[in-house]
A and B are shown apart, each in its own frame.
Chain A
Amino acid sequence: MKIRNNIAVSDNGFVFNPASGESFTVNQVGLDILNMLRKGEKQEAIVQELSEKYQADTAVIERDLLDFEAMVKQYHLHQNED
């Protein structure tokens, strides 16, 4: 999954969608994920990177990542993969 190019993500976790005018906050782990999604990183790479940075099982990270991605989709921040 990749997030849309026009989504603005600030360094302290403020997210703005200019298409809808909606804004969001993300916590640090959420911010890390958004930045990796922007770069087009795949799930396995994101899980790997997070497990190196944070104290958590990869299974837990993977589960939370899936949930986070579902919310990104729900808020229409993702790019449609045609």
Chain B
Amino acid sequence: MMTKARYERPLIKKLESNMPNKFGMRTEFEPVTQIDGVSVASLMADYGSPVFVLSEQKIRSKYKAARQAFETRYPRVQFAWSYKTNYLSAVCNVFHQEGSWAEVVSGFEYDKAIRHGVDGANIIFNGPDKTEADLRKAITNNSLIHIDHLDELYMIQEIARETKQKPKVAIRVNMDTGIYPMWDRFGFNYENGQAWDALNKIMFSGLLDLVGLHTHIGTFMLSPNAYAIAASKLANLAQRVQQKYGHEVKYIDMGGGFSSRNTLKGAYLPGTDTNPSIDDFAEAITSALMNSDYRPKTPPLLILETGRALIDEAGYLLGSVIANKRLSDGRRATVLDVGVNLLFTSFWYDHKITPAQEFTSYTEDTVLYGPLCMNIDVVRENISLPLLNKGDKIVIHHVGAYNMTQWMQFITLRPNVVMIDMDGKPHLIRKNESIDSIENLEEIPPHLSHFEL
């Protein structure tokens, strides 16, 4: 019997040579059929579609590369895992196994770090919202409290006075580093003297142990030089404290905000080609610190709260094609079972998306929609993709940061999350939600428990 040829849906595409268009060039040349040696098809068969997949191997290698970038340039370096970036326990523990402290921004995250077994002294407590109970706990545990505003400073002083404990504190400093927007909503401003004022208040009170200085200048930063400016300004504050009070701050915390390899919406070139590497950031920060006038007996510990740059590339979101449609203007639209409810970062990035099965050289300018019955659910507004059919599988890349914390239980339920270990074995690290996981939290008042239609 004659075997039939492989079917590809018919395509007619207008040739527009030399005409720039927003769909850009073709970017996918090879299907992604496996992740760390595990086939995409088997992952989806075992754990469903959609499914988040994390590569333990990638997390560790990114962490090691980042540590090396800083440690080869500066003698004392400590990373603290930014919980808000991805606080799945398995993920946090990979970082803690590698030696990362915990960096938390809420009582919930603080408790999570404690549950993971992180010593209180290795928890950095950031953020504008720390309740009195949170602060009491953090003070008792000897955690490093980064003060965001004066109200918090006064509350800590009051607890210190009452409990006769000496809390370990730093202040968060915001500043002009030449980038826009300037993040001046967190911490105390450098240029207008707020930061210096807060440091004087701490030193004069004698109630608190000023151990560090902290800044976090922005997110998805594309300019390493901004970090150099920030490091110089923090070092300058440290030097002034040393000069005036003979007190040495033990650490400089440069926060996070390093860009990953994702491509920001509106960028002309892919992030993989244009975004600075971790070495660029390391060079800028460590040079600025070493070139500063701050000269304590031992160099201050350099703390980094890098999140996104360490986890983004370790995360994949696997999904399937639900349907193909044609829009009124002739554009191809493809509906996926993955939407903005799971892929929050599609509001910021043009995510790289690759089919997980063989395809031909033909591509189509496509709009990718998610499954939600909501107009905002657009995964990619313009992408040149090989021809996809209903049921085809796709891999969305660089989704490890923020999606598994900012995802929404909206319209659909959150899916399984799987981590592939160092030996290529997949483990379920977060079970998919069921209707019970949502409804168990609800209460129906007796008078609303029955109805007739």
Task: Name A residues whose Cβ lies closer than 8 Å to a Cβ of B.
Answer: 15, 22-30, 32-34, 50, 52-56, 60-61, 64-65, 67-68, 70-72, 74-75
**A25 in contact with B4 (CB, 8 Å):** no
Stretch at the interface among B7-15, B313-321, B442-450: B7-15
**B10 in contact with A27 (CB, 8 Å):** yes
- The distance from the CB of B14 to the nearest CB of chain A, in whole angstroms, is 5
* Residue B362, interface by CB 8 Å: yes
Q: Which residues of B contact A23 (CB under 8 A)?
A: 14-15
**B14 in contact with A24 (CB, 8 Å):** yes
**A68 in contact with B10 (CB, 8 Å):** yes
Secondary structure at the A interface, as helix, strand, loop or mixed, is helix
**A28 in contact with B12 (CB, 8 Å):** no
**B12 in contact with A72 (CB, 8 Å):** yes
CA distance A32 to B9 in the complex (A): 11
**A68 in contact with B7 (CB, 8 Å):** no
Residue of B nearest to A77 (CB): B12
Q: Which residues of A contact B5 (CB under 8 A)?
A: 28, 53-55
Task: Knowing A54-B4, A67-B326, A74-B330 are in contact, say whether A30-B14 is a contact too (CB < 8 A).
Answer: no
- The distance from the CB of B145 to the nearest CB of chain A, in whole angstroms, is 61
- The distance from the CB of A15 to the nearest CB of chain B, in whole angstroms, is 7
CA distance A26 to B360 in the complex (A): 12
Instruction: Choose from B8, B12, B389 the contact partner of A24 (Cβ within 8 Å).
Output: B12
Task: Knowing A23-B15, A25-B15, A71-B330 are in contact, say whether A30-B6 is a contact too (CB < 8 A).
Answer: no
Q: Which residues of A contact B389 (CB under 8 A)?
A: 60
Q: How many A-B residue pairs have CB under 8 A?
A: 74
Q: Which residues of A contact B9 (CB under 8 A)?
A: 29, 60, 64, 67-68
CA distance A28 to B208 in the complex (A): 75
**B360 in contact with A27 (CB, 8 Å):** yes
CA distance A32 to B14 in the complex (A): 17
Residue of B nearest to A26 (CB): B12
**B362 in contact with A27 (CB, 8 Å):** yes
Residue of A nearest to B330 (CB): A74
- 17 residue pairs from A and B, CB less than 8 Å apart: A15-B12, A22-B14, A24-B12, A24-B13, A26-B10, A26-B11, A29-B9, A53-B5, A54-B7, A55-B3, A61-B7, A64-B9, A67-B324, A67-B326, A68-B10, A68-B11, A75-B14
**B10 in contact with A64 (CB, 8 Å):** yes
- The distance from the CB of B161 to the nearest CB of chain A, in whole angstroms, is 74
> Quick one: which of A27, A33, A53, A60 has the most chain B CB within 10 A?
A27
Interface residues in B147-201 by Cβ distance below 8 A to A read: none
Task: Knowing A26-B12, A71-B330 are in contact, say whether A56-B360 is a contact too (CB < 8 A).
Answer: no
**B13 in contact with A25 (CB, 8 Å):** yes
- The distance from the CB of A7 to the nearest CB of chain B, in whole angstroms, is 11
- The distance from the CB of B404 to the nearest CB of chain A, in whole angstroms, is 36
**A29 in contact with B7 (CB, 8 Å):** yes
**A30 in contact with B4 (CB, 8 Å):** no
CA distance A17 to B12 in the complex (A): 13
Q: Which residues of A contact B7 (CB under 8 A)?
A: 29, 50, 54-56, 60-61
CA distance A29 to B360 in the complex (A): 12
**A27 in contact with B6 (CB, 8 Å):** no
- The distance from the CB of A2 to the nearest CB of chain B, in whole angstroms, is 16
Task: Knowing A54-B4, A55-B4 are in contact, say whether A33-B326 is a contact too (CB < 8 A).
Answer: no
- Known pairs A27-B11, A72-B12 / 16 extra A-B pairs, C-beta < 8 Å: A24-B12, A24-B14, A24-B15, A26-B10, A26-B11, A27-B362, A27-B387, A29-B8, A50-B7, A53-B5, A60-B389, A67-B9, A68-B10, A68-B11, A71-B12, A71-B326
- The distance from the CB of A17 to the nearest CB of chain B, in whole angstroms, is 10
Interface residues in B382-415 by Cβ distance below 8 A to A read: 387, 389
The 10 A-B pairs with the shortest beta carbon distances in the complex, nearest first, are A56-B7, A30-B10, A54-B7, A55-B4, A68-B10, A29-B10, A64-B9, A27-B362, A23-B15, A27-B11
CA distance A27 to B324 in the complex (A): 18
- The distance from the CB of A3 to the nearest CB of chain B, in whole angstroms, is 11
CA distance A53 to B2 in the complex (A): 9
**B10 in contact with A55 (CB, 8 Å):** no
Q: Which residues of B contact A24 (CB under 8 A)?
A: 12-15
Instruction: Choose from A28, A67, A72 the contact partner of B8 (Cβ within 8 Å).
Output: A28
Q: Which residues of B contact A27 (CB under 8 A)?
A: 8, 10-11, 360, 362, 387
- The distance from the CB of A22 to the nearest CB of chain B, in whole angstroms, is 6
Residue of B nearest to A32 (CB): B10
> Quick one: which of B12, B330, B387, B389 has the most chain A CB within 10 A?
B12
- The distance from the CB of B329 to the nearest CB of chain A, in whole angstroms, is 9
- The distance from the CB of A60 to the nearest CB of chain B, in whole angstroms, is 8
- The distance from the CB of A66 to the nearest CB of chain B, in whole angstroms, is 10
Residue of A nearest to B14 (CB): A24
Task: Knowing A23-B15, A24-B13 are in contact, say whether A70-B8 is a contact too (CB < 8 A).
Answer: no
**B11 in contact with A30 (CB, 8 Å):** yes
Residue of B nearest to A23 (CB): B15
Chain B 1-33, CB within 8 Å of chain A: the 1/0 string?
001111111111111000000000000000000
